[in-house]
Amino acid sequence: MVVRTESAERADRIFHALGDATRREIVALTLAGEYSVSDLARRFPMSFAAVQKHVAVLEQAGLVTKERQGREQRVRGNADSLREAHRLLDQLADLWRGRIDRIGTIIADSEPDSDPAPHPREGKEHSHDRDRRSEEP
């Protein structure tokens, strides 16, 4: 049984949202400045509704905030959520570095300390070798 914590579910939402190129571009744009959803829709070769859906996914993940100003929805990037994503990636990197280090230690510990055993034919003279030498002129 897998137990899901709130922080794990949040991480899933963040990385799912960042898994799409259009959403990553929207985040980058809105971190640099505030845009209306209409302004964003004009920048992409898709419908207004499709851009609205992308913004909704980003908002649910906490990567952008939306605020109504009159008839417009203004979208602003949330740098704190990106810092959280960065922190989560650092934690995953540390976890995997530790696992790789442990694998390296296990491999090093399992390697023999001495030279490998000589090949069975090395250093031994067989009777057929002696026979060939006696036949040589």
| Pairing of β 35-36 and β 64-69 | unpaired
pLDDT at 82 over 80: yes
User: Which range has the worst mean pLDDT, 42-46, 62-66, 77-81, 89-93?
Assistant: 89-93
**Arithmetic mean of pLDDT, 58-62:** 96
Q: How many other CB atoms sit within 10 Å of the CB of residue 30?
A: 22
**Average pLDDT value for residue range 54-83:** 95
pTM of the predicted protein model: 0.67
* b/e burial code for range 68-98 (CB count within 10 A of at least 16 → b): eeeeebbbebbeebbebbeebeeeeeeeeee
The residue among 53, 57, 56, 59 whose CA lies nearest residue 77 is: 59
Please report, for residues 39, 48, 57, 67, 130, the alpha-carbon distance to residue 44 in angstroms, rounded to integers and kept in the order given. Answer: 9, 9, 16, 21, 84
For residue 131, is pLDDT > 90? no
Cβ 56 vs Cβ 1: under 8 Å? no
